[in-house]
Amino acid sequence: MKILFYDTKKYDRDSFEKMLPQFPEVEMDFLEADLSVYTARLAKGYDGVCAFVSSDVGGNVLHALSDSGVKLVLMRCAGFNNVDIDAAKEYGITVLRVPGYSPEAVAEHAMALALAVNRRIHKGYIKVRENNFSLVGLTGVNFFQKTAGIVGTGKIGAAMCRICRGFGMRVIAYDMYQNPDLDFVEYVDFDTLLAESDLISLHCPLTEDNYHMINTETIEKMKDEVILVNTSRGALIKTEDLIAGIRNKKFFAVGLDVYEEETNNVFENREDDILEHSITARLLSFPNVIVTSHQGFLTEEALASISQTTLQNAMDYKSGQMKEMNLVTVQ
Nearer to ligand NAI, 48 or 103 (CB): 103
Closest CB to ligand NAI belongs to which residue? 154
CB of 53 to ligand NAI, least distance (A): 9
Write down the catalytic residue from 108, 109, 233, 260: 233
Catalytic residue status for 233: yes
DSSP code at position 220: H
Nearer to ligand NAI, 157 or 245 (CB): 157
208 CB burial (10 A radius; 0-12, 13-18, 19+): exposed
Angle of helix 121-129 versus helix 103-118 axis, rounded to 10: 60
- Beta 94-96 vs 327-329: how paired, if at all? antiparallel
Report d(CA 252, CA 250) in Å as an integer.
Answer: 7
Write down the catalytic residue from 262, 268, 271, 300: 262
Write down the catalytic residue from 294, 300, 301, 324: 294
CB of 175 to ligand NAI, least distance (A): 4
CB of 151 to ligand NAI, least distance (A): 5
* Residue numbers at the binding site for ligand NAI (CB under 6 A): 78, 100, 103, 106, 151-157, 174-177, 203-205, 207, 209-210, 231-233, 257-258, 294, 296-297
**E strand intervals along the chain:** 2-5, 27-30, 48-51, 72-75, 94-96, 147-151, 170-174, 186-187, 199-202, 226-230, 251-256, 289-291, 327-329
Nearer to ligand NAI, 255 or 296 (CB): 296
User: Is the separation of the CB atoms in 31 and 5 below 8 Å?
Assistant: yes
Nearer to ligand NAI, 29 or 268 (CB): 268
CB of 69 to ligand NAI, least distance (A): 32
Q: Which residues are catalytic?
A: 233, 262, 294
